[in-house]
Every structure is written in structure tokens, then in C-alpha cells.
Amino acid sequence: MGKLTIAEARKIDMVDYLSSLSFRAIKTKGDDYWYISPFRQERTPSFKINRRSNIWYDHGSGEGGNIIDFGILYHHVDVRGFLELLSRDYRQNDFSFHPSLKKESNIGPIAGEKEKSTDSKIIITATRQLSNLRLLHYLNERAIAPDLASRFCQEVDFNLYKKRHTAIGFPNGKGGYELRNSYFKGSSSPKTFRFFDNGKKELQVFEGFFDFLTWLSHFKNEQRSSNLLVLNSLSFFQRAKQTMEAHHNIGLWLDRGSAGQACTVQAIKSHSAYEDKSSLYEGFDDLNDWYVHQFKQKQSLYNSNKSSHSKTIKLK
């Protein structure tokens, strides 16, 4: 078989294709298959394939589409390059065609088209000050003080798949929210980065808002020493470049995964103002992961000392 055409490529079952890339669904709900995002490291699956429509949507980045859109982003190639890769893989793996897409008239959405189902869209219904005990407990698990989180985040109610959810919401300034709780990671539209202008020539850049809150927690005396930028997704790095490169020094606190490190290396090669700050949390997924580890160690030491002190008093 020669090179696949665009129409043939779009018929390939996406669940089958991700399986060939060694990605397995963490959970399924009806026709929806949920994965840890192939584009970044994360704890909660935010990448979904609807097998009936054979399209994907990444709640973490706000991007979605068909298999061609996925292949272009994942392999960093153009359409022709992906078709060549897919044709080679097709010969090796013998992918199945998606049942509902065998007829040309049912191929599905055009490249770049995203989900239009109302049920699968996050609808914000209410916002208020953080007070939910489960969310406060989640903040404690991430080693973030509630009073600090309350300065930048809100408690947000939203509907998704006809169910009401409550999460910590980090507003991006354009009406969208990054949403997190112990079981959910996603975002509402519109999704974009957020810039905090403190009138400085130095900038600190974070991939997500928990790393931003972690930096504020750890570097208490430096909170006003820099401007701050939260990307909310690596996909916004290029879009934020003009804002970033208006500064003399740009500290990059990106994830230690392959995507974050590749982005850091590429940025440093492109402009002398960028500096990799991730050596602080080498061996951990990200800045918050490292900070949680430090927090637990301190707690363990405190409990151990407290127990020893109690035993000494009893002996006396």
C-alpha cells in the first residue's frame, strides 16, 4: 500500500492509533476514552477521544480535532510529514478503520474542528471565595496555603456532561478559568496565558498555576522582584514570546518532562534572555512536585521530634 490519503487517514480509529503509540485509556465513559495527555506530564487525565465521532479534545490546552490535527501536534510535522509517518505505521500495525467513518460522507469534522457537543463543554455557573473543605484539603495536599490561593483563585461551579462540579479556578483575565480539584484537570473557554505586570525587567515563567503559587510560597521575599507569567499550557509559549522577550531576564520554571525541557532548550537557543531554572527540582515532575516532597519531609521531621519530646516527658 502506498501513502495514505487525507480521507483514508481520517478513517483510522484514534483509540487504535493511540494504542500503537503505547497510550492506554485511564478510564472510559460511554464513547469517551480518557488519557493522560500525550502532550505533557499530568496527574489527572485531561485528554479525551470520543470514539463515536473519532475526534479528540485536550481539556488542558483547549485544543482538539481529528487524527491529522493530533499527528501534526504530536510529531511536530506538517500534513504531508504525518501522512508519511502514518503510512509507514499503517503497514506495520494494520490499524482498523473507524466503523462510522467508512463512507466518505461520514468522515467527520474537518481538520482543526473541535467538539461542538454542549454536554462536553465546560459551562461556568458560579464563582465565590474559596471555602469548600475538599478544595482546601486538596490545596494542603499540594502544599499551598489557602490564604495565598485565595489571592489569585476562586471557587468555581461548572457543568460538564450534565453534572455539576466544583473546582479551584484560576482566572486568565479573558473570562476563562483553569480548573483543578483532586479528580479533575481542565479549563473553560477562552483559554490563554496570564501576565502579572509588577513593572520589572525580570520575568518568571510557569507552565501551570500551581507552580506559580509554589514559587510565591517558596520565594516569599521575591514576590515583587519580577513580573510573572503563567502559560496555562506549553501551547501558548509561542504566543507569549513577545510579552516574555520584552524583559531583560526570563526565568523558565517549566516541567521536567520531555516537552517542558525541549521547550526550555529551544527557547535558550533562540534568545539569550532565557534561563533554565528547573535544576532546583531536578528528579521531580515539576516545581510543585518538588515542593510537596519538601513539605512532607518537614512534616515527618516535625512529627518525629514531637513524638520524641512526648516520650521524654513521660520518662521524667
**Residue at which a domain ends, from 40, 71, 106:** 106
> Is the same domain home to 270 and 293?
yes
Domain of residue 266: give its range: 193-316
Percent of the chain surpassing pLDDT 70? 84
The answer to the question of residue 297 being in a domain is yes
Q: Confirm if 271 and 259 have CB atoms less than 8 A apart.
A: no
Q: Phi/psi at 200 (nearest 5 deg)? A: -110, 165
Has residue 91 got a pLDDT over 70?
no
Instruction: Name the E strands within the chain.
Output: 27-29, 32-35, 47-50, 55-58, 63-65, 123-128, 154-160, 163-171, 177-180, 185-187, 194-196, 202-206, 227-230, 249-253, 274-276
Considering 82, 106, 130, which residue would you say is the last residue of a domain? Answer: 106
What are the pLDDT digits (tens) for 183-210? 888 888 888 999 999 999 999 999 999 9
Residue 271 lies in a domain: yes
Residue 131 lies in a domain: yes
* 197, 316: one domain: yes
- Both 210 and 95 in one domain: the answer is no
Weakest mean pLDDT among 21-35, 95-109, 217-231: 95-109
* Residue at 115 is within a domain: no
pLDDT the model gives residue 142: 95
Q: What secondary structure letter does DSSP report for 256?
A: S
Residue 117 included in any domain: no
Residue 16 lies in a domain: yes
Query: Last residue of some domain: 52, 72, 106?
Result: 106
Indicate whether 205 and 147 sit together in one domain.
Answer: no
Q: How many independent structural domains does the chain possess? A: 3
**CATH number assigned to the domain comprising residue 306:** 3.40.1360.10
Q: Who wins on pLDDT, 279 or 220? A: 279
Which pLDDT belongs to residue 146? 96
Residues 21 and 81 in one domain: yes
Answer whether residue 165 is part of any domain: yes
The answer to pTM > 0.85 is: no
pLDDT of residue 114: 44
Residues 166 and 248 in one domain: no
Alpha-helical segments (H) within 119-224:
133-141, 146-152, 209-218
Whether residues 183 and 203 fall in one domain: no
In this prediction, residue 95 has a pLDDT band, given cuts at 50, 70 and 90, of low
Whether 233 and 142 map to the same domain: the answer is no
The answer on 200 and 304 residing in a single domain is: yes
Once rounded to an integer, what is the mean pLDDT over residues 100-120? 43
Q: Identify whether residues 210 and 304 lie together within a single domain.
A: yes
pLDDT digits (tens, 9 = 90+) for 240-297: 999 999 999 999 999 998 888 999 999 999 999 999 999 999 999 999 999 999 988 8
Of residues 90 and 238, which shows the higher confidence score? 238
pLDDT score, position 110: 33
Mean pLDDT value across residues 116-122: 62
According to DSSP, residue 122 is labeled -
Is the model more confident about 141 or about 110? 141
C-beta of residue 101 within 8 angstroms of C-beta of residue 132: no
- Which CATH number belongs to the domain containing residue 94 in this structure? 3.90.580.10
Task: Assess whether 197 and 308 both reside in one domain.
Answer: yes
CA–CA gap between residue 248 and residue 236 (Å, rounded) = 20
Which of 25-29, 211-215, 222-226, 310-314 is predicted least confidently?
310-314
Judging by DSSP bridges, how do beta strands 63-65 and 194-196 pair with one another?
A: unpaired
For residue 244, give every residue at least 6 positions away whose Cβ sits within 8 Å of its Cβ, in sequence order, or none: 203, 205, 229, 250
Tens-digit pLDDT profile for residues 17-56: 998 888 999 999 889 999 998 888 788 888 999 999 999 9
Tell me: do 77 and 11 sit in the same domain. yes
Mean pLDDT of the chain: 85
Q: 182 in a domain, yes or no?
A: yes
